[in-house]
Structure 1
Amino acid sequence: MGRHEQIEKSVLGSMLAENYLIVDSDVKQDFFISQIHKNIFGCMQALLAKRRPVDYITLLTMMEPVLLGGANYLAELANFANQTKFDRYVDMMREAWKNREKNNILIQAKEGDWEIGSIQQAFEELEKEGSVGSETNIKMELVRMGERPYEQTQHVPGVPTGLHDVDKLLDGFQPAELIIIAARPSMGKTDTLNHFALHAGLAGYKPIIFSLEMSRTSMIDRFIAITGGYNRLRMRNPYMHFTDKQKSNWLPTLARLNEANIHIDDRAGLTVSQMRAEARKMIHTEPKLKPIIFVDYLQIIRGNFPNHNRTEMIGQISNELKQLAKEFNCPVVCLSQLNRGVEIRDNKRPVMSDLRDSGNIEQDADVIGFLYRDDYYNIDTDRPGLLEIHIAKHRNGPTGTTTIGYVKETGILHNIDWQEEKRRASRQ
C-alpha cells in the first residue's frame, strides 16, 4: 500500500469516526488520487446533504459496493482513523493536489503555447482555489458599520474570571487570545486555573482542560474542594474527617460542579496538534456552548520537532497555542513555569525575563499574568492569605496588579472587600 493511499484511508476513516470533519476540513473530492476514495468522499457529502448519518452501512446504499471498494473495504477504514494526524494529512493531500494541478497547467501551457503571464495567472488561481477559504475584503464590514455612530453599542464582555478586579483589567478572557499565567511552584497556578475554569463553566461556557501533569482524579478532587469549600486534607478520607454538615452538602456540591460542564483530558505528553484534534471533537458534541481551553502547563507540552533546542521548542509551542486560539476563536489559558532567577532576588515578584525557556512566549501571548504570594516567602508577613495577580502584558488593554484572597487548604480564590478589611483592621 502506497503512502498516499494510507493517508487517504486515514482521512476517510477519521471522517467516518467524526462526521463533522467532512465539512470542517475543507477537503475537496479532487484531493483524493484513488477513484474509489473519490467515490466514498462524494457519497459522504451526499449523505450529509440529506442530513443522514455517515457510516459504512449508509455509504453502501449510495452506490454500487464495488465502486466503493466493497463492504469489507469500507468497514476496515475505521482502523485507519487518526484524528490527531488528520489536519496534517489533509494539508499533505492539499499540497499533493496543488503539485498535480501545477504539472497539468505546465503541460497545457506547453501544448497551447501559453504566454508567461497566462501561466502565472493560472498558478495564482490555483493557489486561491486550494487555500482554506476566508474572506479578506473588508467592504461588507464597512457597510455594516455605516450606522455605528448612531446606535448604542452593545458591550459583550469576554469569559468572566470570577475575580472583579481581574475582569476590570481584562474585560474577561477574550476570544482568539492566548493568556499565559506564570509563577514559581507552590504559588497556586493550578488552583487559579481551576477557579477560572469553574467560573467559566458556571457562566455557561465549555471549559476544556488539558491536564498534562495532574491526573483526572486529582483534578476532580480539587474542583470538588473549591466548589464545596472542603479542606483537601480532609477529603483524603471524608468518611472519617467530614462533619455531618459537610457530608450532607456533598451531593449538592457534586450537582453544582456538574453544572459547570467541565471536560478534562489528562493524557501526558500531548502535542498541540493532539489537543486541537481532541478539542475539535469536544466542541462539536455541544456546538451551542462557546469553548474556553485551559492547559497545565506549557513546558511539558510535547513539541513536534525533538531535535530543536529547548528555546526553539517552546517558541514553536507558544505559536501553535496562539494559532489554536485563533482557529477556534476562543481564549486559550496556559500555565507556565518561571525560571529560578526569582529565588535569588530580594524582591521575589516575577518579571517578564523570568519566563522559563521563554522563546516567543512574550511575543505570542496576548495577556501575561504573574502570580505571587508573600506568605510563601515570608512567614511573618502582614499579608497572609493573599495572592497577587500582576498583569504584565495586555496587548489590547491596561496592565496592573490585583490582590485577591487565596485559601490554600481548599484552593479557593475569592474577591476581597477592602472597605470591610479596613473596618476589621480598625476594630482590632
Structure 2
Amino acid sequence: MSGLELAEKSLLGTMFAETYLIGDGGLQEAFFTKIAHQRIFTLMRRLAAEHRAVDYITVLTMAEPAELGGANYVSNLQNFANPARFDEYKAIVIGEWKTREKQRILQLAQVENWSIVDIQKAFDNLEAENSAQEEASIQDDLASLYELPFQPVREEGGTPAGLRDLDNLLNGFQDSELTIIGARPSMGKTDTLNHLALHAGLAGHLPIIFSLEMSRKSMITRLIASAGGYNRLRMRNPHRYFDEKQKAGWTQTIGFLDGAGIHIDDRSGLTVGQIKAKARHIIKTNPDRKPIIYIDYLQLIRPDNMQDDQTRKIGQISYDLKNMAKEFGCPVVCLSQLSRGVEGRKDKRPLMSDLRDSGNIEQDADVICFLYRDGYYDKDSEDGNLLEIIVAKHRNGPTGTATVAYRKETGKLFDINWDERKGLA
C-alpha cells in the first residue's frame, strides 16, 4: 500500500470521526486517486448536506458495498483516523493531485500545440482552483468607511484580560494575534494564564487551555483556589482545613467557575498539529462562543522535526502558532520560559533577549509580555505582592507596564489603585 493511499484512507477515516471536516476540510472528490475513495467521499458529502448521520453504516446504505471496496474496507477506514495529521495528509493528497493535473495539462498542450503563455495560464488557474479567492480590491471597504467620522461607533475590544490596566494597553486580546507571556519559573505564569482564561470565559468567550506541564486536576485546583480566594495549602484537604465560611462558599465558587466554560487538555508533548486538531474540535462543538487558546508553555510543545537545533525548533513552533491564530481567527496566548541570563543583571526585569531559544518568537508574536515581581528576588520587598506585566512589544498599539496585585497563596490577580499600594506590601 502506497503512502498516498494511506493518506487518503486517513483523511476519510478522520472525516468519519470528525464529520465537520467533510465540509470544512477543503477536499474535493477529484483529489482522491482511488475510485472507491472518490465514491465514499461523495456519499459522505451527500449525507452531510442532508444533515444525516455520517458513519460507515449510513455510507454503505447509499451504494453497493462492492463499489466502495467492500463493507469491511469501509468499516476499517475508522482505524486510520488521525485528526492531528489531517492538514498534513490533506497537503500530500492535494499536492499529488496538482502534480497529476500538471502532467495532464502538459500532455494536452503537446497535442494541441499550446503556447508557453497558455500553459502558464493553465498552471495559474490550477493553483487558484483550490485556493480561497477573496476580493483584493479595497473599493467596498472604503465605501463602508465613508461615513465613519460622522456617525457614532461602538468600540469593541478583544477578549478581555480581566485586568484594567492591561486591557487599557491591549484593548483585550485581539483575534488572529499571537501573544507570548514570558517569565522565570515560579514568577506566576500559570496563575496569570488561569486568571486570563477565567475572565475570558466569564465574558462569554471560549477559553481552551493546553496544559503541557501541569495535570488537569492541578489546573482545576488552582482555578478553584483563585476563583474562591482559597489558600492552596488548605486546598489539599478542604474538609480538614476549611473553616465554616469557606465551606459555605464552596458551592458558589464551583458554580461560578463552571459558568466560565473552560476546556483543559493536559496531554504532554503535543505538536502544534495536535493542538490545532483538538482546538478545532472544541470550537466546532461550541459554536456559540468565540474561542481563545492558551498554551502552557511554548518550550514543551513537541516539534515536528526533531532533527533541527533547539532555536530552529522553537522558531518553527512560534511560526506555526501565529498561523494557527490566523487560521482560527482567534487570539492565541502562549507562555514561555526565559533564560537564566536575567538572573545575572542588577535590574532583573526581563528583556526581549531573555526569551529562551527565541528563534523567531520576537518576529512572529504580535504582543510580547513579561512578568516581574520584586518579591521573587527580595522576600522583604515592600512591593512583594505586586506583579508587573510588562508589554514589551505591541505590534498594533502602545507598550507599557500594567501593575496588579498578586496573592501567591491563592494564585489570585486583581486590580489595584495606586493609593492602596502600601497596604499590599
TM-score (norm 2): 0.97
Q: CA offsets per residue over residues 77-96 of structure 1, 9 Å max, x none? A: 11110001110000111110
Partner of 2:59: 59
Matches within 5 A, 1:83-162: 83-162=83-162
Matched, 1:264 2:267: no
Residue 45 of structure 2 aligns with an amino acid whose one-letter code is Q
Stretches of structure 1 lacking an aligned partner (at least 5 in a row): none
Matched, 1:163 2:163: yes
What secondary structure, in the 3-state scheme, does the structure 1 residue paired with 2:323 have?
A: helix
- State how many pairs are aligned: 425
Residue 193 of structure 1 aligns with an amino acid whose one-letter code is L
Displacement of 1:313 after TM fit? 0.8
Residue 260 of structure 1 aligns with an amino acid whose one-letter code is A
The 3 A distance-change label for structure 1 pair 415 and 152 is: same
| Partners of 1:26 and 1:132 within 8 A in 2 | no
The whole-number CA distance in structure 1 between the counterparts of 2:20 and 2:53 is 10
Matches within 5 A, 1:233-382: 233-382=233-382
| Partners of 1:178 and 1:366 within 8 A in 2 | yes
| Partners of 1:325 and 1:331 within 8 A in 2 | yes
What secondary structure, in the 3-state scheme, does the structure 1 residue paired with 2:143 have?
A: helix
Residue 246 of structure 1 aligns with an amino acid whose one-letter code is Q
The 3 A distance-change label for structure 1 pair 141 and 405 is: same
Q: CA offsets per residue over residues 343-374 of structure 1, 9 Å max, x none? A: 11111111111111111111111111110000
The whole-number CA distance in structure 1 between the counterparts of 2:175 and 2:103 is 41
Q: CA offsets per residue over residues 283-313 of structure 1, 9 Å max, x none? A: 0001121000000001111111111111111
What secondary structure, in the 3-state scheme, does the structure 2 residue paired with 1:13 have?
A: helix
The whole-number CA distance in structure 2 between the counterparts of 1:152 and 1:417 is 31
The whole-number CA distance in structure 2 between the counterparts of 1:12 and 1:323 is 25
The whole-number CA distance in structure 2 between the counterparts of 1:403 and 1:151 is 36
| Partners of 2:204 and 2:289 within 8 A in 1 | yes
What secondary structure, in the 3-state scheme, does the structure 2 residue paired with 1:27 have?
A: coil
Cα RMSD for the two superposed structures: 1.5
Partner of 2:27: 27
Matched, 1:391 2:391: yes
The whole-number CA distance in structure 1 between the counterparts of 2:42 and 2:147 is 44
The whole-number CA distance in structure 2 between the counterparts of 1:219 and 1:346 is 34
Partner of 1:8: 8
Residue 185 of structure 1 aligns with an amino acid whose one-letter code is P
The whole-number CA distance in structure 2 between the counterparts of 1:301 and 1:160 is 26
Percent sequence identity over aligned pairs: 58
| Partners of 1:98 and 1:130 within 8 A in 2 | no
Q: CA offsets per residue over residues 126-169 of structure 1, 9 Å max, x none? A: 11013344443434333333333333222111011010000000
Deviates more, 1:407-416 or 1:129-138: 129-138
The whole-number CA distance in structure 1 between the counterparts of 2:397 and 2:381 is 32
| Partners of 1:177 and 1:366 within 8 A in 2 | yes
| Partners of 1:405 and 1:416 within 8 A in 2 | yes
| Partners of 1:84 and 1:277 within 8 A in 2 | yes
The whole-number CA distance in structure 2 between the counterparts of 1:409 and 1:140 is 54
Q: CA offsets per residue over residues 245-270 of structure 1, 9 Å max, x none? A: 11121121111111111111111111
The whole-number CA distance in structure 1 between the counterparts of 2:413 and 2:288 is 29
Partner of 1:419: 419
Q: CA offsets per residue over residues 93-135 of structure 1, 9 Å max, x none? A: 1110000000000000111111111111111111101334444
Matches within 5 A, 1:172-187: 172-187=172-187
Residue 108 of structure 1 aligns with an amino acid whose one-letter code is L
Displacement of 1:196 after TM fit? 0.2
The whole-number CA distance in structure 1 between the counterparts of 2:97 and 2:213 is 40
| Partners of 2:161 and 2:199 within 8 A in 1 | yes
